[in-house]
Structure 1
Amino acid sequence: MVLPDWALSMFETALIHLHRCEGDESFFASFESAWRMRKLSEAGRLRIRAALPAYARWLVDIARPDADSGLESLVRLRLHILGLLLECQIIVTGVGKVDFLIEGRLIIEIDGKENHDGPSRRHKDLVRDAAASALGLETLRFDYAQVIHDWPAVQAAIVAALARIREHA
């Protein structure tokens, strides 16, 4: 059932129109961001799901409210489409919270400029990566430009790292 625009909140209407105009990826990242910012109630999420075309409803079904950024949401969506099962926003003892963990051995970090820019933040990332390596974990870090403008290279790096990990398991 499609509800008339007057029955939807401003955020709901905007997200539905965003899907129509910009497609799955923009919608998904924005939907998760709105949910994280508590702009969408459970009823609102269900109204959005109902208003989407049937082929797109799965996007609401896999959405989560814990992504630290729209960039992380985008990466999670793309990795989901590849069939990779991710643990998201989990604590790795000795390392701290990581964006994604794949197969218990590969850490994926999505480094937006606001959280990883500058020498002191870079140093903290390097310390965390060394701690992960000491635990037998591999860490791959990608920034905005890589995710947005060179996804094939990001995907190839992740797939290759998983192949190495599986080979040595």
Structure 2
Amino acid sequence: MGPAAHNLSSPHDRRIPLGRPERFGIALHRSHRADLPEPEGPVDPFPWALLHAVTCQPRDDAVVTLDSALHFGRVSRAELESLTAHLPAKYRALLELTDPGAASGLETKARLGLHRYNIPYRSQVQIPGAGRVDILIGDRLVLEVDGREWHSGASAYARDRSRDLALIECGCLVLRLSYDQVMGEWPRVIAVIRRLVARHEHRWSPRHVKEGLAVRL
């Protein structure tokens, strides 16, 4: 954004200067210089838009944005490294938190919530007989995060419960989390997960080994 707010005008009336833009419900975001061709025309190219989005968002939201760009092939890891090379270190550090396998922003939020408490996990793990799960903690603790878009309706409900049954048959312990639980009740969720991990319920037990369930995933 330009160097002085007083040079800006109201989007509703260009004769009104924006000495205090917050009065008009406008938030100013200052851009960082990057080694990219200057945008041409009224619409920024995707790399520029991504750069601005990342530098204007809170950390977790920025990682969600990067994960989505990687997952849908809009940008490569190498392109991201080049894009953020001239940004402050705090933005470059976001790359270490990205996961191109993340299938949704909700999954990214849950993954970052585990990372914050140093709980090791793997994402998008294939479970024999049950399919791919969102997040696996240890040997057998499965987290499935249910966004509203893909987990609503009778068929989705039946499919999710069928997967849960197959996972339990494999000896897994399943936590199926809703959007509201991930976004609004995470302190409660992480407290439950930490108790399960403290009791080693995320690991195969001698009983699981004896019953032939202790499969390395």
In 1, the alpha carbon distance for the partners of 2:62 and 2:119 equals: 21
Q: Conserved in 2, the CA contact under 8 Å of 1:15 and 1:27?
A: no
Unpaired segments of 5 or more residues in structure 2? 1-31, 206-217
1:55 aligned residue: 90
Using a 3 Å threshold, how does the CA distance of structure 1 residues 130 and 81 change in structure 2: closer, same or farther?
same
> Cα deviation per residue 1:130-162 (whole Å; 9 max; x = unaligned)?
222222211001121111122112212222222
Distance 1:7 1:40 in 2: 18
**Is the aligned partner of 1:87 residue 2:87?**
no
Q: CA deviation at 1:41?
A: 3.0
Of all paired residues, the percent bearing the same amino acid is 34
Name the aligned partner's letter for residue 18 of structure 1: A
Map residues 10-21 of structure 1 onto 2, 5 A cutoff. Answer: 10-21=45-56
Match of 1:88, SS?
strand
Q: Output the CA distance in 2 between the equivalents of 1:36 and 1:138.
A: 27
Larger CA Rg, structure 1 vs 2: 2
Deviations along 1:94-133, one digit per CA (max 9) or x if unpaired, are 1111001110110000111222111221122112112222
Equivalents in 1 of 2:202, 2:105: separation in Å?
29
2:86 and 2:150 map into 1 onto residues whose CA distance is 35
Match of 1:44 among 70, 79, 85: 79
Higher helix share: 1
Question: 2:197 is aligned with what amino acid?
Answer: L
Structure with the larger RCO, 1 or 2 (CA within 8 Å, 6+ apart): 1
C-alpha distance in structure 1 between counterparts of 2:96 and 2:204, whole Å:
34
- The answer (yes or no) to whether the contact 2:51–2:83 under 8 Å persists in 1 is yes
- Residue 60 (structure 1) shift: 0.6
Cα 1:108–1:18 change in 2 (3 A) is same
Q: Which runs of structure 2 are paired with 1:12-31 in the superposition (5 Å)?
A: 12-31=47-66
- Residue identity matched to 1:127: S
Q: What code does the residue aligned with 1:23 have?
A: P
User: Structure 1 stretches of 5 or more lacking a match?
Assistant: none
Structure 2 counterpart of 1:3, from 34, 47, 63: 34
- Counterpart position of 2:26: none
- Hey, what does 2:165 align to over in structure 1? 130
Task: State the TM-score, normalizing by the size of structure 1.
Answer: 0.86
The SS at the match of 2:110 is helix
2:182 touches 2:189 (CA, 8 Å); kept in 1? yes
Residue among 135, 153, 159 paired with 2:188: 153
Q: Provide the residue aligned with 1:68 in structure 2.
A: 103
Root mean square deviation, CA, Å: 2.4
Moved over 6 A (4+): none
How far does the alpha carbon of each residue in 1:44-96 deviate from its partner, in whole angstroms, 9 at most, with x for none? 21123324321332221231211111111121122122212211111101111
